[in-house]
Amino acid sequence: MADLAGNRQIVRLRRVLRSRFISPRLWVRRCAFWTGALAIAVIAILFADAADLAAGWFTATVAARPWLAWGMIPAGFMAAVLLTIHVFPGAGGSGIPQAIAAIHIRDPAKVRAMLSLRIAFGKVALTLLGLACGASVGREGPTVQVGASIMHTLGLWLRLPRHDLQRGLILAGGAAGIAAAFNTPLAGIVFAIEELSHSFEARASGTVFTAVIIAGVTTLALVGNYSYFGHTTAELTLRTGWVAVLVCSAVGGVAGGLFAAVLIRAARGFPGLLGRAIRWQPMLFAGLCGLVVAGVGILSRGETYGTGYAQARSAVEGHADLVTAYPLLKLVANIASYLSGIPGGIFAPSLAVGATLGHVLSHSLAA
């Protein structure tokens, strides 16, 4: 009887240790998620500050000597493409598609080709290089890939055996990157929910959401509760509002569809001479794209360089002073920067096109 009672106590003790509240293994896993989320938030803040400095340096450099853009931008594009191909393969693109693809890929080698600390470093460095030479790119998408890379690396260090846990770490890193980049924890949670529904079992969702919230709260604590694109006091009557919504929807939809079609075509490969040029002479093609960005920048009085964040914010707040063709010129700069093959995001530059397009249309409708 004593042996039977002792066995029962051992069984109970094992059950307690395996419970989700006490299990050392589960707590190690939780700490990995939380530590990674803190690191992502800090890196996202430093990345944002460095991006502002890089873009500001280029703007100040070409302000008095606009002709410098003809040399700086093509040279910077060619250097970024050279480094992407030979030093940081896998760091190209905007970042978010790579993170989403890694969630659904089961081959560990293919995942490591998109997510690693080396790629994360290259993504940050080459995005900053692009901004320092006037590229029309953003840092939000790259932050997502950096976050996913950090979490994935933590999983490898901890040797988490189950594939679904690795996918959960990647998802948590990407979602935490969104929360930190935009200072919006809810956006990271929405991203996680969208991917959770078909990526791995729901048991991991609580830990993922906690990591996203930690990243968002850390960002709020360090940089404050700021509005990404400022505030507006604009008001529309019902009659004017319907006209504005219809016109902006139609024009913005066409512009967005054109941009998306070009990006999809670029990902699949262009046919003919253009496709061969990109494959055989990627650096030369990048330099030509740089010349396009430089020309567009000069036509826009230097406003199309960089992320477009300042221009979009001024448009939302109602005090933008831009050339009338700015939305079209920014769209061309976005396409040329993406086609060049340099790493960099497309989210903020695309928002700049949309916000300033509404600004231009508002004057037309008012007239």
Report residue 254's pLDDT band, with 50, 70 and 90 as the boundaries.
confident
Assigned token pair, 308: 């477009």
pLDDT at 17 over 50: no
Question: What's the pLDDT at 195?
Answer: 63
pLDDT digits (tens, 9 = 90+) for 56-109: 999 999 988 999 999 999 999 999 999 999 999 988 888 888 888 888 887 888
Question: What's the pLDDT at 298?
Answer: 94
Question: What's the pLDDT at 238?
Answer: 63
Mean pLDDT, range 52-57, rounded to an integer: 93
Q: How far apart are CA 141 and CA 347, in angstroms?
A: 7
> What would the DSSP string read from start to end of 24-76?
HHHHHHHHHHHHHHHHHHHHHHHHHHHHHHHHHHHHHHHHS-GGGHHHHHHHH
224-231 contacts, C-beta under 8 A, 24 or more apart: 225/183, 226/183, 228/182, 228/183, 228/184, 229/309, 229/312, 229/313, 229/316, 229/351, 229/355, 230/313, 230/316, 230/317, 231/316, 231/317
Q: Which amino acid is at 74?
A: P
Least confident of 9-13, 217-221, 353-357, 358-362: 9-13
The model's pTM: 0.84
Mean pLDDT for the chain overall? 80
Mean pLDDT, range 330-348, rounded to an integer: 91
Least confident of 25-29, 124-128, 141-145, 325-329: 25-29
Q: Is 345 helix (H, G, I), strand (E, B) or coil?
A: strand
The top-scoring range by mean pLDDT among 170-184, 244-258, 322-336 is: 322-336
- Helices 24-63 and 69-86: crossing angle in degrees, nearest 10, is 150
Residue spans of alpha helices (H) in 87-204: 96-104, 108-112, 117-132, 140-158, 163-182, 185-196
Q: Are 342 and 132 in contact (CB under 8 A)?
A: no
Question: What's the pLDDT at 155?
Answer: 80
Least confident of 88-97, 254-263, 357-366: 357-366
pLDDT at 139 over 80: yes
Question: What's the pLDDT at 196?
Answer: 53
**Percent of the chain predicted with pLDDT > 90:** 28
Question: What's the pLDDT at 230?
Answer: 62
Question: What's the pLDDT at 241?
Answer: 64
Q: Are 335 and 292 in contact (CB under 8 A)?
A: no
Mean pLDDT, range 132-152, rounded to an integer: 90
Question: What's the pLDDT at 181?
Answer: 76
Assigned token pair, 336: 């040329």
Report residue 220's pLDDT band, with 50, 70 and 90 as the boundaries.
confident
**Percent of the chain predicted with pLDDT > 70:** 80
Question: What's the pLDDT at 286?
Answer: 92
Mean pLDDT, range 200-206, rounded to an integer: 54
Please, what is the end-to-end C-alpha distance for the chain in angstroms? 94
pLDDT at 357 over 80: yes
Query: Phi and psi at residue 38, in whole multiples of 5°?
Result: -65, -45
pLDDT: is 160 or 277 the higher one?
A: 277
Question: What's the pLDDT at 58?
Answer: 95
291: burial class by Cβ within 10 Å (0-12, 13-18, 19+)?
middle
Least confident of 189-203, 258-272, 288-302: 189-203
Question: What's the pLDDT at 297?
Answer: 94
Question: What's the pLDDT at 16?
Answer: 47
